[in-house]
A = this chain, B = another copy of it.
Amino acid sequence: MHRFFLPIPFAEQMPITGKDAYHIINVLRMQVGQQLQIVSNDQVSALMEIIALNEAVVSVRLVERLLTTHEPSVRIILAQGLPKGDKMDFVVQKAVEMGVSEIIPLSMDNCVVKLDAVRAKKKTERWQKIVEEAAKQSKRDIVPQVSLPMTLKQLLTNKQDVLLKIVAYEVEDRRGLRELLQAQENITEILLLIGPEGGISKEEFTLAEDKGMQSVSLGKRILRTETAGLATVAAILYETGDFGG
């Protein structure tokens, strides 16, 4: 069933406008009496029935509230060193499908891509669109946010309150991800830092450690940057019981 995120608080009767209305009317060609799912901006998920359509507005009425959440119990913030080409599109899409709550693109020492303010804004808008699509398709209850690209220093200041901060570091060969995760009592929020293609620089690593990030090894095989984040997100969600039951 199709799912739409509405930028308004929940009500028993709600209007769907803008591009979602266009999509329902002209692409899906839905009719009065058909059902769809909505998530309101105060996070109510509900099954709704179409009661009227005109050129620009679809009116829907509550059938029933949906009480089961599709959200994981752990809030994962993925901070990804900007990869080359359009790989970030891919990272964003897959991370949202799997259950990440927030995505922060990072400008790091070894990033080949350098974005000026204008391009950074454009790119972020593009990523946010990909996020929205992926959130709909995977039946998320929230639309995760992609922030504007920032530096590692800014990240560590903004997110200093996150209790568990992990950095995947290929030089690390003592502590594995699994060991670290299993040593935690109750994981509710994780900041996960993944470097770009060239890896994390020594200076960045020192800064991250100083600010309380814990380095982990991902194992013996060398993963590309866009694979490392997704595999780690899958592993975290598996560990917390949020992937595969």
Contacts and interface: CB of A to CB of B under 8 A. Distances in A.
Contacts of A71: 220
Interface residues of A, number: 41
A68 interface: yes
A167 to B, nearest CB: 13
Interface string A190-223: 0000000000000000000000000011111111
- How many copies make up the complex? 2
B244 A232 contact: yes
Interface stretch (A8-16, A102-110, A156-164, A234-242): A234-242
Interface string A144-177: 0000000000000000000000000000000111
A234 B244 contact: no
Contacts of A177: 238, 243-245
Contacts of A98: 221, 223, 227, 231
A45 to B, nearest CB: 12
Most B CB atoms within 10 A — which of A71, A222, A232? A222
B68 A222 contact: no
A69 B243 CA distance: 28
Contact of A218 (B139, B176, B244): B244
B243 A235 contact: yes
Given A217-B244, A218-B244, A231-B234, 17 more contacts: A69-B220, A70-B221, A71-B220, A97-B224, A98-B231, A139-B222, A176-B245, A178-B241, A178-B243, A178-B245, A217-B245, A219-B242, A219-B244, A230-B234, A232-B234, A235-B235, A238-B238
